[in-house]
Amino acid sequence: MKLEFRQYMAARREQVEAALDRYTAGLDAPPRLVEAMRYSLLAGGKRLRPILVIAASELFGLDAADVMPAACALEMIHTYSLIHDDLPCMDDDDLRRGRPTCHKVFGEAMAVLAGDALLTQAFVLMADQACVARVGPARAARATGELARAAGAAGMVGGQVEDLEWEGRRAGESQLRRIHSLKTGALFGAAVRMGGILAGAGEADVERLGRYAAHFGLAFQIWDDVLDVAGDAALTGKGVGRDARHEKSTYVSLHGLEGARERAHAAVREALKELEPFGQPAWVLRLLAESVVDRVA
């Protein structure tokens, strides 16, 4: 099963990379802008969010190709958020995945615009005529709404604002959970919900996928905090101990390393519980959740 899962992930990741390349290579836009967009978009990464879209839609009978534009839209939004988060006026980061950040290479103005362009391009993809024709415009419109709500003021951007507002202060557990559920959880939720919606899943199943993603996102974030303390900088591509230096509350600062690890595992168990009604076909989503706490980077 583990081998099959690794093969599945490698194949899907390759498909996603190829699609991201295809969707941006021929853009009728200033070359330097396209270069900046692609520099950040094609910088590797696990492609977790697009794979979540695909795995959720496969559970309800769609093929990866049917939802590829939506899957890539999500990755574009994730990438734009990293570019803007790294800006000097935000987190002021020089490195991302072991490479200079977008604004370090292309300048601040271009980084702002590359982020804006990626965010906008996500919605070009959501309106992709071939994809809309395949799943039907009603599902496409609903999925577009899911994505926009999760990415915007009531979701990811709102989480980033709350994160900034708590800078230099130690947030408590409930505040920390809230920030992360908005900042990273919202997009994970959108991923599986969009996959379900595009594939015509019923409302109860879409809700169930959303709850799976909430636990998944929590486990993911706790594990990020664990890796910040106990991870290998060469593998994570960022410095170790950054959170402590930034005086940020983390699950490790709140519960200690072992307490944080336990909580991550508990969140994974909750995620798995939500998948039970789907049975064997949910094997990818199951192993995806389990792999969150196997990560070393």
Q: Residue 245: CA atoms inside 13 Å, Cβ hemisphere, count?
A: 7
Strand partners, 96: 99
Closest CA to 177 of 91, 267, 80, 53: 267
Q: Which of 64, 67, 82, 126 binds its own copies (CB under 8 A)?
A: 126
Four-point Cα dihedral 59, 65, 71, 75, nearest 10: 140
Whole-number minimum distance, CB 297 to its own copies, in Å? 28
Task: Please state the φ and ψ torsions of residue 42, each to the nearest 5 degrees.
Answer: -105, 30
Q: Which of 42, 43, 105, 127 binds its own copies (CB under 8 A)?
A: 127
Binding-site size for its own copies (CB under 8 A) equals 54
Binding region for its own copies (CB under 8 A) out of 139-147, 188-196, 240-248, 249-257: 139-147
Binding region for its own copies (CB under 8 A) out of 118-126, 195-203, 209-217, 232-240: 118-126
Q: Which of 53, 64, 102, 140 binds its own copies (CB under 8 A)?
A: 140
Binding region for its own copies (CB under 8 A) out of 2-10, 31-39, 186-194, 255-263: 31-39
Which DSSP string corresponds to 133-145? HHH-HHHHHHHHH
Smaller CB distance to its own copies: residue 148 or 233? 148
Whole-number minimum distance, CB 70 to its own copies, in Å? 12
Closest CA to 74 of 4, 144, 162: 144
Which are the contacts of 176, defined by CB distance < 8 A and separation ≥ 6?
Answer: 249, 250, 251, 254
Whole-number minimum distance, CB 79 to its own copies, in Å? 13
Token code pair at residue 159: 């989480």
Binding site for its own copies (CB under 8 A): 27-30, 32-34, 37, 80, 84, 87, 89-90, 107-110, 112-113, 115-117, 119-121, 123-124, 126-129, 132, 136-138, 140-142, 144-145, 147-149, 151-154, 157-158, 160-162, 164-165
